[in-house]
Structure 1
Amino acid sequence: MDFVVEEAKTSNEECSTLILPALSIGNVGQLAVDLLVSSTGAQKMGYLDDPNILPCVGNDAYAPVPHGDLALPLQAYELSSSSLALIQQRSPVVKGKMLEFAKNLADFAVASGKKRVIVLSGLDFGRWQKIDLTSGLQIYYLSSSNSDGSDHYCQQLGWKRLQEYDPTQRCWKYLSDLAEGNGVQENHLPFEDELEDEDYYPSLPFAALFSCFKAKGLKVTCLLCYCSEGDNIADAFNLAGAASKFLGLGLNSLHGDEGGKWVVPFSWKTVYGPPPDMSIF
């Protein structure tokens, strides 16, 4: 994986915390990163080039007037005032290459001096076992702080550990062994049509990222929320708000009456198409 810095810019080695999305249902992780970049005013530093990512190109996601500033599959941003770096991923990983991609990202994170990584991702609402919406949309987490995935700070923030994480379960263990470079055979992992319910979570992109960052000795926390396909803007605010709370960015108010104000990315104006023609009603 190559990091290409924009002309006349220099990456700040003091930006030791990295936020990035893991692609999943509803693209909530990507939407949350868009919201964080737009609201913090993080500056684009360049882009990452990796052979395991499908190519794509688009217009600038944050500026209302195009100036020929293209959006690429993997773009890097920095907020030096908060020692924060962000990576936005806009296209999927080549099928079967998720682990290689995760290893490359982990190598980049170590080489660029990162110490802590926050991964944002959505989970399939249809697999939520214990649904409880009495306190609104919930955040779940998975941390490398303890072997069981728990973290005292996350618990203090009122979040629940992802109960489906079990480091001794076959797929979680297999993923960990591969990330650490241990000699394991591919036939130890079941085929897709043989996957059981407990195999679902370790098969997701966030699990590969978690395992590879952890294997490199980085402190990694996955912030997760259950969602469905559709208009996931509310889920993105929820997940971005959790990241802001976790890092103390002061972006927890939707209306700007406390701390910083959320700035909706310009690209969201057309993310779900134009409003319906009211004359049909």
Structure 2
Amino acid sequence: MRDRRPRIVCISQARMTSTRLPGKILLEAAGKSLLAHHLERLRRCGTLDAVVLATTVNRTDDPVERAGRALGLPVFRGSEQDVLSRFAGAAAMAGADLVVRVTSDCPLIDPALVDELVGGFVAGPAADYRSIDTSRFPRGLDAEVFTRAALDEAAAQATDPAEREHVTPYIYRRPDRFRIAEPLRPAPAPDGPPQRWCVDEPADFELVRRLLEALVPEKPDFGWQDCCNVLNRHPDWIGINAAVRQKTLHRPGMPMAHKEKNNGS
């Protein structure tokens, strides 16, 4: 891979049957669905060769496929629960060498952060896996990058149901087998308590809706720091979803909590 530029493919997982807020990705804010905001922001990334939407074979996810194709994106459909096999299938379809994993309930995802994550992974020491440190960034900016070889090995070898549902635990739980790069961290870290900019519950949607409606008309290419600026002007907004708790999957030896995707996978 080092002898040529790797083909870098971002795969976003999406489904309609989230447990806490069904159909959340097609809720609308600032004139379009959360899924459209999410995918259109990813298409602004300069490091990506392709963006693929990975949904399930369930008929309930036919609207997800239609939404992706309406944006001109390739769509891969696979298992609902075995998300690892879904990612492996999508990566094979797209001819990926490197895979960027994101989730569709993150409509404020920052293209510049994704580019920084991927650029550092490609230019840095050889590695198999790197993530954004969401213990220091707001949740909702989540992204991981890993090699296609690591993904394929995980898909072939993982037997733990959690490792098949959450895609990357097989990789980052095995630092003796895979080269785990230092996560991307902000410098300096944002002040104040951790914030949630992902959408799992109605309160999350209310906050994200307000941010999108405040930012999109004036600065459609906004970044995560622009969201911070809006919240500095509206500090009461931070409390809107403060009671929502993040589901986590323990990540031994890693500083970031891994977001479970029972809701948005």
| TM-score class normalised by the smaller sequence | 0.3 to 0.5
The TM-score normalised by the length of structure 2 is 0.35
Larger strand proportion of the pair: 1
The TM-score normalised by the length of structure 1 is 0.33
